[in-house]
Amino acid sequence: MTVSRPPLLEAKHVELHYTVRNTMVLDRSTATVRAVDDVSFTLDEGETLGVVGESGCGKTSLARCLLRLATPTAGTVHFRGHDITRASPRALRGIRREVQMVFQDPEASLNPRKRIGQIVGLGLRLQGIKGREVTDRARTLLGQVGLDPEHINRFPHEFSGGQRQRIGIARALAVQPSLIVLDEPVSALDVSVQAQVINLLDDLKDKSGLAYIFVAHDLSVVRHVSDRIAVMYLGKIVELTPAEALYHKPVHPYTAALLASVPVRRRAGERAGRGVVVKGEPANPVNVPSGCRFHPRCQHSTEICTLVEPPLMRFPGDRLAACHHPRNLSDSEVALAVRSPLSPLSTGGA
């Protein structure tokens, strides 16, 4: 008898809402921005989950909720069964030894007044490790991420963008975490450097069994490192599918539109887009559309899409999508769909 292991991380109905005030002098009204709106998913040991979507879809807000760098408005996040959202400061310090983050801007996330040995070794010192052992382990970590250990006394400004991001990764690895949340870790880097950093992350995962949550706005970036991919739109997950299935047969029209914008190689070797089929811009998160949030931009939209928010449905092949008109599925596959336990609690209009 096979006993299923509990997930490493489990997010249940996570919400993060901000109240914003009108800047007009005579108008003191407020509005609510639904940055993350009823998001649920699980992550297993050693798994990589890509989180993808356009700017403003809530990816970074979700990532910050997972580490409680932002406190969720509602919902829970459990790591190894421990509730991060309600953990005391002392308990949270213990959890953060196992959950680390690599930030988007490799320059802004490093203290310019500290040498990289001090930056990488900070987590070790917070664990009570002192003296020569901190220096030795910092040198080892720099070597693991492809940097010269002899540069341990240099300052961040003496390194390139890609090297600074490697320093950020070394800092995250210092406390030997089980999970690293990567917030757009390669978006500020050149294409060639992006490939180097992604290959580094892949190698580290193979050697240490790390789990990743890899946040990106470009589906082509996460393709080769993700086991599953969650596609977000206006604060919600609209598709959550194994990576290869998503790239070959996306279920949600928004996912298909993102794939259509990914550059591909023509036979002559030129790079060219397939043609962006999505129209318009995302709606204002203060005033999201009723029904399906994507319907104003969807070429397959019908009346039901404008009135009823689609629940997250599980289709054959472990594919989840929230769409009234799923794509690339046979009639029999659609007939076998069941409402997912990860589906939002509310199915009414926004």
pLDDT in tens, 249-269: 999 999 999 998 876 544 444
Checking if the pLDDT of 137 tops 70, the result is: yes
Percentages of the chain per state (helix, strand, coil), in multiples of 5:
30, 25, 45
- Give residue-wise pLDDT tens across range 271-311: 444 444 567 788 888 888 999 999 999 999 999 999 999 99
In order, the DSSP letters of 169-234 are HHHHHTT--SEEEEESTTTTS-HHHHHHHHHHHHHHHHHH--EEEEEES-HHHHTTT-SEEEEEET
Average pLDDT over the chain, rounded to whole?
Answer: 87
Q: How confident is the model at residue 24 (pLDDT cuts 50, 70, 90)?
A: low
pTM of the predicted protein model = 0.89
pLDDT (mean) for 154-175: 92
pLDDT (mean) for 16-24: 79
Burial-class residue 231 by CB neighbours within 10 Å (0-12, 13-18, 19+): buried
Which CATH superfamily includes the segment(s) 9-21+29-98+177-339? P-loop containing nucleotide triphosphate hydrolases (3.40.50.300)
pLDDT (mean) for 21-47: 83
pLDDT for 279 equals: 72
Q: How confident is the model at residue 147 (pLDDT cuts 50, 70, 90)?
A: very high
- Give residue-wise pLDDT tens across range 47-101: 999 999 998 899 999 999 999 999 999 999 999 999 999 999 888 888 888 999 9
CB proximity list for 90: less than 8 A, separation 6 or greater: none
pLDDT (mean) for 320-342: 92
Rounded Cα distance between 141 and 302, Å, is 54
200 contacts 223 by C-beta, under 8 angstroms: no
pLDDT for 347 equals: 39
pLDDT (mean) for 319-344: 91
